[in-house]
Structure 1
Amino acid sequence: MKAGFWVAPEGGDTPMTVMEIGAEPPLRARKLNFLATSTAEEMIRRCRRTAELLPELADALAVQKADRPGRLFDITDYPEDDKELITQTLGEGEVAGVAVLPSGITAQMQEAVMAGVWRIRFTDAEGRLVADYVEVASIPAAVRQACSALPASIDHGAAPDGAMNVMPVLTEIGDRTGRYRDGDPAHIITFSLFPMSPEDMNFLQETLGAGPVQLTSRGYGSCRIVATGIRNVWSVQFYNAMDTIILDTLEICDIPAVAIAAEEDFLDSEARLRDIEEAYFK
């Protein structure tokens, strides 16, 4: 099996640290069941800020559009019990990730079981929490912010010995990134469709570099989405149950669609959140 774009050759160093696919199963069932326990009932009586937050989230979902900026809800100063209850209520959905902002602050992102609702924790270089938010958006704003400082053009030298197709691939990437405009459909390069030698892949990795965003999605199988060091160029890899790459691609786009909440998700999530509020918080 040919190595994937972000898989190092045998004996080499991993070019980028990414989250392990399938390392932890979704917690959605346990999180939602928690609300039916006596412990949750007692927490709900105490945690009125959580009860006030839920209808605000639902209202934001009702008007949110996939192509519009999201809305942030600052819970940094909420009591710890409220934060825990928010965590339990939102649960863990399909998409999670990490983004390193140009300031050096790291955003740890987890989508809720309600698609389009995200928990974002910001930590400094020492791992200290500096901000805690719930965000209603198709994708957290931190993802775009992290990629905003990336260069838009590719700089590289001559192809190494043993290269086969890396130079045409780099030409294609350079052409597509140069012409890309927000809202354009993604241009996908699938490595399964043409031969790439180890020298090709190594040179491509070195040329594009590692970017500041790593995401995983478990919506339809497991998928790893990694920003390269070039703006709008993403590695998107799909895995089977044995953690083997079955589709290895580069996408030239704003953000790969597999990580983004769709338009219809917002209204579905609004209805689900209002059901939870009605059943447990009133």
Structure 2
Amino acid sequence: MKPGFWIAPEGAEQPVSVFPIGEEALDAQYKGLTASGALAKLASMDSEALARSCPRAVELLSTMAAAIAAQTADAQTQLFRLDGLNDLERRLIEDVLGEGEVAGVVALPDGRLAQIQESVLAGIWRVRLEADESHDYIEIGSVPEIVARAAVDLTADDIVIGPAPEDTMNALPVLAEIRERARAWQPGQRSQTINFTLLPMSPADMVFLQQTLGNGPIQLVSRGYGTCRVLATGIRNVWSVQFFNAMDTIILDTLEVGGVPVVALAASEDFEDSAERLQQIIEAYFT
């Protein structure tokens, strides 16, 4: 059993298993390409032929470049549907966007999963509902709206604290603090962090804490500098945020009370950088 707030089921290596979006639609020659590899593939193709063969994809990329240039961190997200594109145009979009640092899933009430994948251009996301090609789209924003909505709509608004087992030490006062902070938090306020790495919490405390808060509908992984796993608990505005080293050992185990944790969000400077990079790609490969 792993230490930390999230406890892996027997035989499980990690709480989040994220599968790449769109991989099954790619030909063998496209599989396994990194972002730089995808652009190298584009560079080997005739730009005029690409523009003629994929006019809607090129137009969509240009529209997205303008949209992300105007995007801000607190603005409403912008959606771009992919259901009007043919297979070649979808491949082209996938090759340009690549796969970035943040990925995850959102469990919906009807049992389906929404797959989330940030592109190599931060702030541009691919979102797809499991086994539903009609819900396959690009979204520009700090985080896809489906994540923000699920965090509010699919979680409980209060903590039900039952009697603690006899061998717990500090679980009850910690839960009382979490409840107070979660009730008081308002959108726009900074998140508050409870660091279990520094608290004297016994294994029984952590088990009782996890059982009381429960698991929420959102699982995200950020693979930037090391691995960070973000799990929504079953309580609104309460998140498990865990940082791991290369050996998959927890080095920082926290609960955050607030909105979607900042480690999973694109910032305003990301939009500016992504807009510039996307425009450069368009000019280099399609004009």
TM-score by length of 1: 0.90
Question: How is 1:5-44 mapped onto 2 (pairs within 5 angstroms)?
Answer: 5-8=5-8, 12=10, 17-19=15-17, 27-38=34-45, 42-44=49-51
Counterpart position of 2:92: 85
C-alpha deviation, 1:44, in angstroms: 4.4
C-alpha deviation, 1:128, in angstroms: 4.0
Q: Is the 8 A contact 1:26 1:94 kept in 2?
A: no
CA distance in 2, matches of 1:104, 1:85: 31
Q: Is the 8 A contact 1:101 1:142 kept in 2?
A: no
Among 159, 169, 172, which residue is 2:164 paired with? 159
Matched AA of 1:82:
E
CA distance in 2, matches of 1:202, 1:110: 31
C-alpha deviation, 1:41, in angstroms: 7.1
Q: Secondary structure at the match of 2:167?
A: coil
1:252 is the counterpart of 2:257:
yes
Among 211, 214, 220, which residue is 2:216 paired with? 211
Q: Once the two structures are superposed, what CA deviation does each residue of 1:97-126 show, in whole Å capped at 9, x if it has no partner?
A: 111233444211111111000111112xxx
Counterpart position of 2:83: 76
C-alpha deviation, 1:27, in angstroms: 2.6
C-alpha deviation, 1:220, in angstroms: 2.2
Counterpart position of 1:97: 104
CA distance in 2, matches of 1:122, 1:195: 41
Matched AA of 2:158:
S
Percent sequence identity over matched residues? 50
Q: Is the 8 A contact 1:35 1:41 kept in 2?
A: no
Matched AA of 2:7:
V
Q: Is the 8 A contact 2:50 2:286 kept in 1?
A: no
Long gaps (5+) in structure 2: 20-31
Question: How is 1:132-281 mapped onto 2 (pairs within 5 angstroms)?
Answer: 132-149=136-153, 150-281=155-286
CA distance in 1, matches of 2:48, 2:3: 50
C-alpha deviation, 1:2, in angstroms: 6.9
CA distance in 1, matches of 2:276, 2:146: 26
Question: How is 1:115-126 mapped onto 2 (pairs within 5 angstroms)?
Answer: 115-123=122-130
Instruction: Say what the alpha-carbon RMSD is for the aligned residues.
Output: 2.3
- Paired residues, what number? 274
Counterpart position of 1:52: 59
Matched AA of 1:66:
A
CA distance in 2, matches of 1:153, 1:281: 52
Q: Is the 8 A contact 2:99 2:118 kept in 1?
A: yes
Counterpart position of 1:129: 133
TM-score by length of 2: 0.89
